[in-house]
């Protein structure tokens, strides 16, 4: 067997073992957790249903007791002669019906005769005798009575509440609006498909059923009475959770039912989400097992990546070595003519010593021009020496430096070229800038490169705005030109060595590369961007405090 085939076989075998061991255990754990969670959810819903039944029982009993007590209070405040007067009874009725619960009010003597009545059925009920009515005997026996819901003369469902005085000589009876009574039951939250109703012991519904029941069978009543006798606990059937509790002194049953599908809707949603997570976890297990078996391929890819990085580093080292050789050659070629220029400037200075100042109109101008020539020759010598910094580090000649003055001296070198190309250079120096410890020659080299690039970008007829300012712990100098700006593809390679956008033969592509290297050595930074109104802006940052030359480029 070939080594390649052997490792392939081992790879698939290891992945299969890993999957067979992990995924069945995960599925078993999910099944067990789902089963326990379902049972817990049913128990929680059952407890909530029983609690709701208890709360509604208290609410309905309180509703009935409140109106019984209200009638009893009226009997204490008034005697039968007073309430037997239609005018007085009307006044009491008006005050009681404001709640919109009581729809009529009647006064009945101990013989069942209707003495007075206020309500919408005065014509039908005036003078009636209730001595043979079942409710009359009940109220005379117990002192208080709440009827079942019935239609009677009104032909609409209603119930009555009646109370007697202490001597049981007369009765005050009120009719309760069944719509408001039904609303108390309808507030029960049993969800879609559930039911909530009140039923008497004969199986007659006292409030409407949500699922259309009209009367309960003896078997159903036995089931509900059994539930009520258990203290109102919820019981689970095939498709429902049911609870029942006694109300109205045990005369009625309050029944609440919720559909299992509705009750378990949130559970099923959670289970579907959990199954999706288990499926995702299983997929992850498969992917991880496959990825683990490909360790060797990954190691080979990593080795190839390291080889590519090493090759890239070697190319960069070759490029830097080329820059070093080029720097040494350029330095040698430039220093020779510079030495001749320096000698000739010295000779001119000595010859001026022999001249009579008042015979030469521009004597002082000649002396100043010779001084500038010698100064710039010395600066150029330093620049050429520092070109060797590409191959090895050079010492820095640092001193207290006025940034505004250094910029102004650099700008002076471009005055003639700027006038020739009709380019306006405007300065906005912040006054009172503190001097900083830096290398003015290296700094001026950066200024020269940036200004030269700006003028090349403008070409003819434009402007350069130079601004100096303090930003945090740095002095910043901005060179903003009116040129075409910097495209994105140029920004990405702006500081690469030998990268240039100038015509062939005009630029080497080293200016910004050298300038950024110089600013890093000085502890500062060189950044580039585009102006809102068009053109590019280069910003040079120099720290207010002297820093180590080994410091990396700051974030500004």
How far apart CA 402 and CA 549 sit, in angstroms, is 19
The DSSP call for residue 389 is: G
User: Does residue 320 register a pLDDT over 70?
Assistant: no
Mean pLDDT (the chain) is 80
User: Does residue 497 register a pLDDT over 80?
Assistant: no
User: Does residue 26 register a pLDDT over 90?
Assistant: no
Specify the fold of 395-543: Heat Shock Protein 90 (3.30.565)
Tokens representing 304?
A: 């190839």
Say which residue the tokens 């006064």 belong to. 107
Tokens representing 299?
A: 């190691």
CATH for 317-393 (1.20.950, 3.30.420, 1.10.287, 3.30.300): 1.10.287
Specify the fold of 1-293: Beta-Lactamase (3.30.450)
Where in the sequence of the chain do the CATH 1.10.287 domains occur?
A: 317-393
Please compute the mean of the pLDDT values over residues 420-438 and round it to a whole number: 91
Q: Are 137 and 194 in contact (CB under 8 A)?
A: no
How far apart CA 497 and CA 390 sit, in angstroms, is 11
SS3 183: helix
Separation in Å, CA 404 to CA 151, 440, 523 = 105, 11, 19
Q: What percent of the chain has pLDDT over 70?
A: 83
How far apart CA 516 and CA 425 sit, in angstroms, is 23
pTM over 0.75: no
Q: C-alpha angle 113/119/123, rounded to 5°?
A: 60
Tokens representing 39?
A: 């049972």
Of 463, 337, 320, the residue nearest 392 (C-alpha): 320
- CA torsion angle 419 420 421 426 (round to 10): -10
Please compute the mean of the pLDDT values over residues 298-306 and round it to a whole number: 54
At 438, give phi and psi (nearest 5°). -155, 180
Where in the sequence of the chain do the CATH 3.30.450.20 domains occur?
A: 1-293
β-pair partners for 540: 477, 526
Separation in Å, CA 194 to CA 138, 388, 419 = 35, 91, 94
Range from 97-106, 340-349, 386-395, 411-420 carrying the lowest mean pLDDT? 386-395
Tokens representing 451?
A: 């200004």
Tokens representing 295?
A: 């360790």
């Amino acid at each position: 067997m070939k080594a390649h085939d052997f490792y392939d076989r081992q790879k698939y075998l290891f992945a299969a073992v890993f999957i067979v061991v992990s995924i069945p255990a995960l599925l078993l754990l999910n099944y067990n957790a789902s089963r326990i969670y379902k049972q817990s959810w049913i128990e929680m819903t059952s407890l909530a249903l029983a609690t709701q039944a208890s709360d509604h029982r208290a609410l309905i009993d309180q509703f009935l007791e409140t109106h019984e007590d209200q009638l009893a209070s009226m009997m204490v405040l008034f005697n039968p002669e007073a309430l037997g007067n239609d005018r007085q009874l009307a006044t009491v009725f008006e005050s009681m019906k404001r709640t919109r619960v009581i729809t009529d009010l009647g006064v009945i003597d101990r013989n069942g005769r209707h003495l007075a009545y206020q309500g919408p059925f005065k014509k039908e009920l005036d003078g009636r005798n209730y001595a043979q009515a079942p409710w009359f005997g009940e109220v005379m026996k117990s002192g208080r009575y709440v009827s079942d819901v019935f239609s009677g003369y009104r032909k609409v469902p209603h119930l009555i509440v009646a109370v007697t005085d202490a001597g049981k000589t007369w009765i005050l009876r009120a009719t309760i609006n069944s719509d408001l009574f039904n609303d108390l039951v309808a507030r029960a939250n049993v969800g879609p498909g559930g039911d909530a109703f009140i039923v008497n012991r004969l199986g007659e519904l006292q409030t409407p059923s949500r699922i259309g029941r009209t009367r309960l069978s003896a078997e159903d009543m036995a089931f509900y009475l059994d539930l009520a006798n258990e203290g109102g606990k919820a019981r689970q059937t095939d498709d429902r959770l049911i609870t029942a509790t006694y109300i109205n002194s045990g005369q009625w049953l309050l029944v609440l039912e919720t559909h299992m599908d509705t009750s378990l809707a949130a559970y099923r949603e959670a289970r579907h989400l959990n199954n999706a997570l288990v499926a995702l976890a299983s997929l992850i297990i498969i992917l991880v097992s496959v990825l683990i078996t490909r360790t060797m391929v990954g190691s080979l890819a990593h080795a190839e990546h390291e080889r590519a990085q090493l090759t890239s580093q070697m190319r960069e080292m070759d490029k830097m070595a080329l820059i070093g050789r080029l720097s040494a050659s350029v330095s040698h070629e430039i220093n020779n003519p510079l030495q001749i220029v320096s000698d000739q400037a010295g000779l001119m200075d000595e010859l001026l010593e022999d001249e009579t100042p008042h015979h030469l109109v521009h004597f002082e101008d000649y002396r100043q021009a010779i001084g500038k020539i010698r100064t710039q020759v010395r600066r150029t010598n330093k620049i050429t020496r520092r070109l060797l910094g590409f191959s090895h580090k050079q010492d820095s000649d640092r001193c207290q430096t006025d940034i505004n003055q250094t910029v102004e001296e650099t700008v002076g070198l471009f005055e003639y070229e700027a006038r020739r190309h009709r380019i306006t250079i405007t300065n906005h120096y912040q006054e009172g800038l503190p001097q900083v410890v830096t290398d003015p020659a290296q700094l001026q080299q950066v200024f020269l490169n940036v200004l030269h690039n700006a003028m090349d970008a403008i070409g003819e007829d434009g402007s350069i705005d130079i601004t100096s300012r303090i930003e945090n712990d740095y002095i910043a100098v901005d060179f903003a030109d009116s040129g075409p700006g910097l495209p994105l593809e140029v920004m990405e390679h702006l500081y690469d060595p030998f990268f240039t956008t100038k015509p062939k033969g005009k630029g080497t592509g080293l200016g910004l590369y050298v300038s950024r290297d110089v600013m890093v050595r000085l502890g500062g930074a060189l950044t580039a961007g585009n102006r809102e109104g068009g053109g590019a802006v280069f910003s040079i940052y120099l720290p207010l405090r002297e820093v180590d030359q080994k410091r990396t480029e700051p974030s500004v």
